[in-house]
Structures are given as C-alpha cells and as structure tokens.
Structure 1
Amino acid sequence: MNVAQLRLNNEQYHWVNHWLERWGAWVYSGRLEKPQSSIIAHYMAKVNPQESPTRLMCNDDDGLLISRVVDTVMRVDIKAFKIVLSYYVQCTSRRAIANYYHHCASPRKMNGRGGDRVKKPSFGTCRNEIDAILEAAVWLLYQPLQKAFDSRKPVAKIHKTA
C-alpha cells in the first residue's frame, strides 16, 4: 500500500471534517453525557464549556454516534486522541498544538545529517508530526464514520393528525 492510498480525496476530507467540526462544537458545549463516553468525558472534565455556542453544532443523535466512533477508533493511540480533541473540540490551532508538543518533548533518537543522535525535536519536526497525526486520524475515522451513518436506522417521523 502506498502513501497516496492513505490520503482522503477532497470530497472525503471535507465530509469527515464537516462532521468532526460540528461534533467538536457539540462536545465543547457540554452536551456529551459523561457515562456515554468515558475517554472524552475525562478529557472534557478539565475544560469549561462556553455559555452560548458560537460554532455550528451537530444534533445529539449525531454527536453520540460520532463520539462512539471516535472513542472506538482513537482508543488505540491516546496521544493522537488528545490531539484530535484539542483540534476539533477546543479549536486549538495546529501551530499551538505543535508548540505545546515541542515544549513537552523529551530528547529522543533522531536521524540527522550527522547520523543518529539523541536530541530534542525541533519545532518544525513537531509541526510536521502534528500534521501527520491529524491527517492519519482523519483518514482512520473516515470509513468507520461513514459506515456508522450509513447503517444507522432512520428515526420515524411523527405525523400530525389535524
């Protein structure tokens, strides 16, 4: 499998990004019930939601569905999960996430022109890693989200009898 197969096309990216942005606003608003999603609830317990939502938000049914998918898929990599939450829920910029990531980074073995050395990654390296992690996370979430939306049973509409 080559790298091009691991990238979403524009239409796929915009579809999943659309839902993740609305889900992020929904989680940030405090509408997520704590027992429904343990990992997200623990993370969001540290954040004070805004009084009035200023971002477009999904409805509760969509929010709970997306939360279940995000919990299931992102449970594998907690660091990536926290980056996704920072980006989509708290609207933290990629640069700000990379800055925090750089500040907390410990020296590690890195390939360079002088060979392998143990050193702290540069800010540019941290930015590239954050971009790669977010791109991979969105790619990982696309298909499970699409399946979840497609397999969801439609809610029966209530007809008025007048």
Structure 2
Amino acid sequence: MNVTQLRLNNEQYHWVNSWLECWGAWVYSGRLEKPQSSLIAHCMATKKPQESPTRPMCNDDDGLLISRVVDTVIPVDNQAFGILLSYYVQRLSRYSIAAYSQKVAMPRNISTRGGNRFKKPSLATCRREVDQILEESLYLLHNSIEQAFKCRKRVGKIKKVA
C-alpha cells in the first residue's frame, strides 16, 4: 500500500484531531476509571490529574467511547500508543517527543548517502518518524471513532423510539 493512501484530508484531520484533543484533556483530568480502560489508565496512573480543566474536554460518555477505540486500535504498537498519549494527553510538542525518542534510541541500521550504516538516528529522523506515526495513528483512529459514534447514536435513537 502506498504511504500517501494513509493520509486524511483536512476535514477528516481536523475532525479527529479535535476529538482527540478533547479526549486528551478528559484523560488528563483523571476522569478515566481504571477498570474501564486498562492500557490508558495504566499509563496515566503516575500522572497527577489537573485540578481545573483549562482546555476543552469531552463528556464522560464520549471520553469512554474514544478510550475504548484507542485501546483496541493503537495498543498493538507501544511506540505509537506512547506518542499518542504524549501528544494528546500530556500536550507535549512533536519536537519534544522526537527529542526524547532520539535521546533513548538505540543504534540501528539506517540508510545514509554512503549506504546502510548501523548508528543512532538523528533528531531529524526521529522527527520524521514521530510525524509519520501520529499521521498513521490518526488515519487508523478516524474511521474507528467515526463508526463508534455512529453506532452509539443509532442505539440511542432506537432506545428513544422503543
């Protein structure tokens, strides 16, 4: 599959990004209960919750729904999961995530102008990787979150009619 196929258009990007920003504030506030989302709750257990929210936050129903989607779609890749939490929950910049990634990176086979070499990745390489991982994570989450919202709304409408 071509990498360009894994890109969201602007409308899709802004939609999923705004939901993840609200979800990140919701998780950071400490409203996520441990039994309901084990992976995210485990990562956030060491973080001190914010006393009063200073950024838009989703309601509990939406937060739990998005947490379930993130738990099922992203946890296969620990690096992507960590980057997603760092970016949306802790609000770290892409640069600071890349700087930390480069700091802890182990030497690996990297393609250079002189051929393949076994070396530690540069900060620029780590920045490209963080950008790519976030972009791919948003692509994977977009359809799943959209479907989860549609299914939930359908169930809500059926209950009201019945």
TM-score bracket for the superposition, by shorter chain length: over 0.9
Is 1:8 aligned to 2:8, yes or no?
A: yes
Cα shift readout 1:35-56 (whole Å, capped 9, x = no counterpart): 0001001100111111111010
Cα shift readout 1:38-96 (whole Å, capped 9, x = no counterpart): 10011001111111110100000000000000000012101100100000001000000
Write 1 or 2 for the structure with the bigger share of helix: 2
- Matched residue, 1:154: 156
TM-score by length of 1: 0.94
Is 1:137 aligned to 2:137, yes or no?
A: yes
- Matched residue, 1:92: 92
SS of equivalent to 1:90? coil
Cα shift readout 1:105-156 (whole Å, capped 9, x = no counterpart): 1110111111111000000000000000000000010001000000002276
TM-score by length of 2: 0.94
- Aligned residue pairs total 157
Counterpart Cα distance in 2 of 1:51 and 1:136: 32
Question: What percentage of aligned pairs have identical amino acids?
Answer: 67
Counterpart Cα distance in 2 of 1:4 and 1:130: 16
- Matched residue, 2:78: 78
Counterpart Cα distance in 1 of 2:3 and 2:133: 14
Counterpart Cα distance in 1 of 2:113 and 2:50: 47
Counterpart Cα distance in 1 of 2:17 and 2:77: 19
- Matched residue, 1:59: 59
- Matched residue, 1:160: none
Counterpart Cα distance in 1 of 2:114 and 2:151: 53
CA apart distance, 1:2:
2.7
- Matched residue, 1:103: 103
SS of equivalent to 1:117? strand
Gaps in structure 1 of 5+ consecutive residues: 158-162
User: After the TM superposition, which segments of 4 or more aligned residues of structure 1 sit over 3 Å from their partners?
Assistant: none
Gaps in structure 2 of 5+ consecutive residues: none
Report the RMSD for the aligned CA atoms in angstroms. Answer: 1.2
Counterpart Cα distance in 2 of 1:38 and 1:112: 40
- Matched residue, 1:118: 118
Is 1:22 aligned to 2:18, yes or no?
A: no
Matched AA of 1:2: N
SS of equivalent to 2:156? coil
